[in-house]
Amino acid sequence: MALFLGTHRPRLDEKGRLFLPAKYRDDLAGGLVITRGQERCLYVWPVAEFATLTEQLREAPVTHKASRDFLRMFFAGASDEVPDKQGRVTVPGQLREYAGLDKECVVVGANNRLEIWDAAAWQAYLDDKEQAFAEQSEEVLPGLI
């Protein structure tokens, strides 16, 4: 299972392609799924990890409105992609628009997935959350840290 760590600053080219950070290319070479994430970023999952997540999400009750809403947004925005030989992946236009991506991007390792952020949005997120992160108490992740 891939473990994605770190922060990288690739740029989108004029065709909407993004160079994947070199350290992640082997884990994503077989294909990936890009979809909407929370806070207007994009989630990038290796195909196998996305398949595992999909199996878990199938357990969500179809009678629960919030579940239906989440699943529609999550899967309707999903796009399966395969990086080219240079390690570039095309980010579909609707997803670039959703995340406000232009040229300057940030790719963040987030455990079992990557997140793609507009650089300014990522900086605003950090400015808003870093102090709260420093002050977190054990109630956020009880018994883990």
Structure tokens at 74: 């999550």
Query: How many CA atoms within 13 Å lie on the side-chain side of 85?
Result: 0
pLDDT one-digit tens code per residue, 7-53:
999 999 999 999 999 999 999 999 999 999 999 999 999 999 999 99
Structure tokens at 15: 């065709």
pLDDT one-digit tens code per residue, 111-140:
999 999 999 999 999 999 888 888 776 666
Task: Choose the CATH number for 7-134 among 3.40.1550.20, 3.40.50.720, 3.10.20.810, 1.10.1060.10.
Answer: 3.40.1550.20
In this predicted structure, the answer to whether residue 78 has a pLDDT above a threshold of 70 is yes
Structural domain boundaries in the chain: 7-134
Is residue 2 within 8 Å of 79, Cβ to Cβ?
no
Q: Which of 128, 137, 103, 130 is nearest to 118 (CA)?
A: 103
Is residue 18 within 8 Å of 88, Cβ to Cβ?
yes
Instruction: State the distance between the two ends of the chain, measured CA to CA, in whole angstroms.
Output: 22
Q: Of 79-93, 94-108, 131-145, which range is least confident?
A: 131-145
Residues whose CB falls within 8 Å of the CB of residue 23, separated by 6 or more in sequence, listed in order: 6
Is residue 29 within 8 Å of 89, Cβ to Cβ?
no
In this predicted structure, the answer to whether residue 142 has a pLDDT above a threshold of 70 is no
